[in-house]
Chain A
């Protein structure tokens, strides 16, 4: 048993960030080591993790600001741990993918590591104060990644990203305040402890439904903007299009997952106690996100923007699975978070590689690239197949579980999704792939060559992971299943809640 495992997990990339800032051109080596150690640590934690336990594991708790009731409390359970694993894996791969970065590499790698610090903190903190601090800290490295290394409209995109998500965080903070000031511990003191506060929301005498509705709406907004769900998604395409490839990868694979994590950690425990209309509202938002995201993706000319909208669509499955509130849909939604986290990496990396090898990402200007870069084409193809939900890959399992699980409680919404999005999703993936990579090669691309080995390597690793988790989902869904049971324990289904 490693003591203080989570603190180490957070501290090592932080230290790594400081060191790589001063490491000049050697920054990439520092960054790689500083991200490999947390990966090893999280794998070790995976070995030690009790998959059947419903209580928090690896808990650490210290007093921080006693007068405000703030504690440094971290711990993981089945909700947080898969995402911790995801963060450490993606961080390593993204650093390998960026091996060739030459523009201010020391700052670049330091910012990537700071991002890892932030997301790991979000997925492990059990104190709302701490949670909020990490939630906000994540914005800063991403702001600079977009703003310093981004495309032509980087300033606009960076500022829009920061302000949009910061406003949502502030609304969330207000809701946290309301929880904090309403609930008193038996000894009269206040606490920011997440589990205590969330458990207290079940008590109608402390939190009357009318009040809880407002708190719930505030928290929900904070998470939906981050996910992002329609109609709060408008910051995402801008941020993605302008961000450097590694920034996009981290944004889609890790930052969006913070929103989903919030749904499972905070929203679902409160869902049985708020107005029933919320289920309908969230379900509608989820369905629109899925369908609208897919159709928008179909309409994009820029391959990166296509991938960005596909994120909106795929994250919609997380919302749908969560709100359908059956064991299978919730487990599936958690798995979708993990699965989308890895698959989206390969999509954004493909878009980035095409951009720097060919010089454009406009699908109409591409064609026949597979001819000159066959290895890349195979990997990209595999990534796109994984993303559209090819059986055998992780995306299929996740979306299948969400749809099957949701059909039991939200049949109409599920049918809409099935009819409108499945074909569209397949269509935009295949169309983009076909147009960009296959067909006769254009003359101007005769000199195009395979990308660097490190880029291919990190993309290939993701395909392997997607296959492993597609064929053997139990590796991670066991943990998620326990978490789903635990989330749903108070009220098992929507029927019992009286929604349907």
Chain B
């Protein structure tokens, strides 16, 4: 057993060591906030480089076949690392004083947890990764210790625990049926022992993941938490930890429970349709920008869930020339579309929440006005031009206006739905896209068309750097999507039998 054998996992190792180091150094040194920020950012960049060096690696198993490093895991690790990096960069302007070391350490632990989940092919490992990420984010959600923070964290914690309980119960049934915790073994066993217990297991797993992915009707915690948590933590929750739910669901449902394809096909068809419609409708009535973003996030989860429906409908279909990539399959295209949307949405949402953080950072503590109220965004174009412009592009990107990352993801995903015969779902999704413009345009018109509602906002360096980097990424993916499409296709292939 060579040390270099574990090279594909050095990224996780590095971040774990760094997180411990940050905790230790933080307790030894005073006023180390700035240093910890830089250290975390550097560690995330290094981890990103390590992951990127194995971007399209052939599936490789580690630790008694519980961890698999493959194109899919690398795709999600890149998403998580990029999100964390952007959040850390922005946080460097906010968390500089006492307690900053804890903040950065928790953030790193959460990132490691998410990375573990994206690699897990074993339900126990998956659960452990899930809990690592969740526990760290529970603490982060309350980090500013305001009343609102505590309420948000409490809600998040309770719902999160219930979700974990559902998930674990589902897992226990799966284990009982298969006698193994490996996803591959469960897949084989569920083909042979199809019975009511498997159905119940599926139900529990869907409910558990449904909470994490914030699908309607398991979404109630999301708006309250995203609104109440510190805004930068909301970015991590919406863009990072929510996507963790998706990778886990992809692996467990698409691989392990493939025998119940018809059942989860029906379930996700309904969940996707209801989630995107209710998410968008609810967002239209909100006056709090972070609540709007939260509901938009729910709607986007609805779009992403279309991938499950596409896979269910097109599973095992003959490869055909769907696009110009040689013979490929509609189900692969569907997952690739979901991955592109996940990547795009992670960036756009991180950017948007960082924007709200910047606006909120300017409102003094104890002020009566709610810093996230949409009226506080009036005339933002004048008060904080860079932030407003970045937010503008993020809003258009979230609405799917070309040429942005949001457009490419929706394009590939919706076209896969049409291709696999789910025209009704594609039509519904596209109409939903149009509906979403109502609230995105509302934010835009407050920022650009209304008279300024307050003094100029100081655009702190950390926030601005993070915003501009995100903006560049969102536009880059939109204008040069070719490489990203190919990458997502490779990642999607991991989930499907060759």
Contacts and interface: CB of A to CB of B under 8 A. Distances in A.
Contacts of A338: none
Contacts, number: 85
A189 B427 CA distance: 24
B441 A159 contact: yes
B481 interface: yes
B401 A173 contact: no
A34 B430 CA distance: 37
B324 interface: yes
Contacts of B426: 174, 177
A73 to B, nearest CB: 15
A201 to B, nearest CB: 17
B448 A147 contact: yes
A159 B482 contact: no
B294 to A, nearest CB: 22
Interface in B400-432: 401-403, 411-412, 414-415, 418-419, 426-427, 430-431
A190 B419 contact: no
Interface string A171-182: 101100110110
Given A68-B323, A162-B441, A190-B324, A133 B449 contact: no
A67 B480 CA distance: 12
A315 interface: no
B27 interface: no
B121 to A, nearest CB: 28
Interface string A155-191: 1001100110011001101100110110010001110
A139 B485 CA distance: 27
Interface residues of A, number: 36
A65 B481 contact: yes
B321 A190 contact: yes
B445 A158 contact: yes
Contacts of A181: 415, 418-419
A148 B325 CA distance: 45
Interface residues of B, dominant DSSP: helix
Contacts of A132: 402
Contact of A66 (B322, B324, B412, B442): B324
A86 B324 CA distance: 37
B441 A174 contact: no
A69 interface: yes
B441 A163 contact: yes
A443 B324 CA distance: 72
B445 A159 contact: yes
Interface centre among A68, A132, A163 (most CB of B within 10 A): A68
Interface in B426-479: 426-427, 430-431, 433-434, 437-438, 441-442, 445, 448-449
B138 interface: no
B441 A173 contact: no
Contacts of B430: 170-171, 173-174
Contacts of A184: 321
Interface string B377-416: 0000000000000000000100001110000000110110
Contacts of A357: none
A65 B482 contact: yes
Given A65-B481, A133-B403, A159-B441, A144 B448 contact: yes
Contacts of B362: none
Contacts of A163: 434, 437-438, 441
A140 B440 CA distance: 13
B418 A133 contact: no
Contacts of B448: 144, 147-148
A154 B449 contact: yes
Contacts of A238: none
Contacts of A154: 449
B408 to A, nearest CB: 9
Interface string A58-89: 00000011111100000000000000000000
Interface string B190-232: 0000000000000000000000000000000000000000000
B369 interface: no
B485 A140 contact: no
Contacts of B485: 65, 67-68
B486 interface: yes
A163 B482 CA distance: 29
Given A65-B482, A67-B485, A136 B401 contact: yes
Nearest to A154: B449
Contacts of B325: 67
Interface string B91-133: 0000000000000000000000000000000000000000000
A189 to B, nearest CB: 4
B323 A69 contact: yes
A162 B403 CA distance: 17
Given A147-B445, A189-B324, A170 B402 contact: no
A136 B323 contact: no
Given A148-B448, A155-B449, A159-B445, A188 B403 contact: no
A218 to B, nearest CB: 10
B321 A189 contact: yes
B445 A136 contact: no
Contacts of B323: 67-69, 189-190
B418 A67 contact: no
B482 A170 contact: no
Contacts of A162: 437, 441
6 contacts: A65-B482, A163-B437, A170-B430, A177-B426, A181-B415, A188-B321
Interface of A: 64-69, 132-133, 136-137, 139-140, 143-144, 147-148, 154-155, 158-159, 162-163, 166-167, 170-171, 173-174, 177-178, 180-181, 184, 188-190
Interface of B: 321-325, 396, 401-403, 411-412, 414-415, 418-419, 426-427, 430-431, 433-434, 437-438, 441-442, 445, 448-449, 481-482, 485-486, 489
Given A69-B324, A143-B441, 7 more contacts: A65-B481, A67-B323, A133-B402, A140-B396, A147-B449, A159-B441, A171-B430
